């Protein structure tokens, strides 16, 4: 039998989804599982977005432009203007989800063996995209004790080598929920200018900022040729299955390069672009209630977590994730034990062990990520269940 590729062998499995079989087994036993493990919003997809697809009248489902429908890209101009971002429709390339945007950005800007510095903990799939692009993720560690604030400049500069070509951030952050301040964004700007690096900015959670404003990388002046924003409608409009994202940059050389990859995959999904275009027309107050709901959920979750003996959870400024430190020996073992060996009143909790969000071996062993994408009543029950679990967990420390 022929061997598969080295790339295939080294491609990391999803650390977020590896516990799914244990959750399924628990449900078969009649246990209610509170899913705090994955960022799948329970907010309904807006009706006008769904109706736009249902009421489509075209007779041929043909290829769209490789850069995405021009009508959609032109509408996005007005969307970005709401965040003081000025772009032309030719500076937007629509992608098949934010995932493809990140992969295209990596492949367009970095050569095999090049390095991108990423504050850890970071979105686990960055590892997979880096493997596909044959580049290296170099972590710079942020700490739960500082609420996962941006590490000092010195920590970044220690990691910079001749192979370093970019810094990648997610703002607001997945998995920590940290919201980068204007001052921190200016720090990143200075590092990129000093060392001639690209600044990749994953802005999937732009709308969900609770304790401050969102500063897009595209808001930074004097950095036009360095900034590449990765965007997506998945979390914004609770449309994860639509698979519509975008690469946004003022750098025409990058756009020309990304376009070649876009042409090679022909075009992004047609029906989903219709849905995405309709989403741009939602009223300006659409996010008010949703944002308030997520903020209330955050407040309930963080408050209840910090009342549990031995637990520490910093208050996240955005997105819909929180990272907590638990009095446990091993997060991977604990998260599996919750599903495999524990229940309280026929209930248990599914969490994401934080080890999957760190690149540095040994980090995150006492931390978990929680996604507050379930209602407040369920969050309250889940936290009571977690408290009871920690009381009897054999590996409690």
Q: How confident is the model at residue 241 (pLDDT cuts 50, 70, 90)?
A: very high
Q: What is the DSSP letter of 217?
A: G
Rg of the chain's alpha carbons, rounded to an integer? 21
Q: How far apart are CA 297 and CA 316, in angstroms?
A: 12
State residue 169 phi and psi, 5-degree precision: -130, 160
Residue 16: alpha-carbon gap to chain centroid: 12
Q: How confident is the model at residue 18 (pLDDT cuts 50, 70, 90)?
A: confident
Residue whose structure tokens are 């449309």: 239
Q: How confident is the model at residue 15 (pLDDT cuts 50, 70, 90)?
A: confident
Strands 245-248 and 92-95: antiparallel
> Domain spans of the chain?
6-44+287-392, 47-280
Taking only the tens place, the pLDDT of each residue in 109-140 is: 999 999 999 999 999 999 999 999 999 999 99
Class at the top of the CATH hierarchy for domain 47-280:
alpha beta
Q: How far apart are CA 261 and CA 255, in angstroms?
A: 10
Question: Same CATH fold, 47-280 and 6-44+287-392?
Answer: no
What's the confidence (pLDDT) of residue 14? 84
Longest dimension (CA), the chain: 64
Contact predicate 156/190, CB 8 Å: no
Q: How far apart are CA 54 and CA 244, in angstroms?
A: 18
Tokens of 286: 């659409």
Tokens of 149: 């604030």
Q: What is the mean pLDDT of residues 292-303?
A: 98
The answer to whether the bond into 121 is cis (omega within 30° of 0) is yes
Contact predicate 232/101, CB 8 Å: yes
Taking only the tens place, the pLDDT of each residue in 73-117 is: 999 999 999 999 999 999 999 999 999 999 999 999 999 999 999
Residue whose structure tokens are 């299955």: 241
Q: How confident is the model at residue 16 (pLDDT cuts 50, 70, 90)?
A: confident
Contact predicate 364/331, CB 8 Å: yes
At residue 171, does pLDDT exceed 90? yes
Extended beta strands in the chain, E state? 32-35, 92-95, 115-120, 136-141, 164-170, 198-202, 227-232, 245-248, 321-325, 347-350, 352-353, 367-371
Cβ of 104: how many Cβ atoms within 10 Å?
A: 27
The SS3 assignment for 318 reads strand
Contacts of 101 (CB under 8 A, 6+ apart): 95, 230, 231, 232, 245, 246, 247
Distances (CA, A) of 201 to 98, 216, 379: 11, 8, 30
> Selecting from 3.40.30.10, 3.90.1150.10, 3.40.190.80, 3.40.50.2300, what CATH number does the domain 6-44+287-392 have?
3.90.1150.10
What's the confidence (pLDDT) of residue 17? 81
Contact predicate 312/325, CB 8 Å: yes
Taking only the tens place, the pLDDT of each residue in 40-70 is: 999 999 999 999 999 999 999 999 999 999 9
What's the confidence (pLDDT) of residue 315? 98
């Amino acid at each position: 039998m022929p061997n598969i590729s080295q790339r295939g062998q080294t491609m990391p499995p999803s650390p977020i989804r590896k516990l799914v079989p244990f959750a399924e087994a628990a449900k078969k036993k009649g246990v209610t599982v509170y899913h705090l493990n994955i960022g799948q919003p329970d907010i309904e997809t807006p009706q006008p977005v769904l109706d736009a697809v249902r009421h489509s009248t075209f007779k041929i489902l043909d290829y769209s432009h490789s850069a995405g429908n021009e009508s959609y890209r032109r509408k996005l101009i007005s969307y970005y203007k709401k965040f003081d971002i000025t772009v032309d429709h030719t500076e937007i390339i629509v992608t098949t989800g934010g995932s493809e945007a990140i992969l295209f950005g990596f492949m367009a800007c970095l050569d095999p063996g090049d390095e991108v510095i990423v504050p850890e903990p970071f979105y686990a799939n960055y590892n997979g995209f880096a493997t596909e692009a044959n580049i290296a993720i170099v972590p710079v560690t942020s700490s739960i004790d500082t609420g996962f604030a941006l590490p000092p400049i010195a920590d970044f500069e220690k990691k910079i080598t001749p192979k370093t070509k970019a810094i990648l951030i997610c703002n607001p952050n997945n998995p920590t929920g940290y919201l980068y301040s204007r001052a921190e964004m200016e720090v990143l700007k200075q590092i990129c200018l000093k060392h001639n690096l690209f600044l990749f900015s994953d802005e999937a959670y732009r709308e969900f900022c609770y304790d401050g404003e969102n500063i897009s990388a595209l808001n930074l002046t004097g950095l036009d040729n360095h900034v590449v924003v990765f965007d997506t409608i998945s979390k914004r409009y609770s449309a994860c299955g639509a698979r519509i994202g975008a690469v946004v940059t003022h750098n025409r050389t990058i756009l020309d390069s990304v376009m070649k990859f876009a042409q090679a995959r022909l075009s992004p999904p047609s029906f989903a672009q219709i849905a995405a275009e309709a989403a741009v027309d939602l009223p300006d107050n659409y996010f008010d209630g949703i944002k308030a709901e997520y903020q209330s959920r955050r407040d309930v979750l963080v408050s209840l977590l910090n009342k549990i003996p031995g637990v520490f959870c910093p208050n996240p400024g955005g997105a819909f994730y929180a990272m907590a430190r638990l009095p446990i020996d091993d997060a991977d073992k604990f998260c599996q034990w919750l599903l495999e060996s524990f229940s309280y009143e026929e209930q248990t909790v599914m969490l994401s062990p934080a080890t999957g969000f760190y690149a540095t071996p040994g980090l995150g062993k006492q931390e978990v990520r929680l996604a507050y994408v379930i209602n407040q009543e369920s969050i309250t029950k889940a936290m009571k269940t977690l408290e009871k679990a920690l009381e009897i967990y054999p590996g409690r420390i």
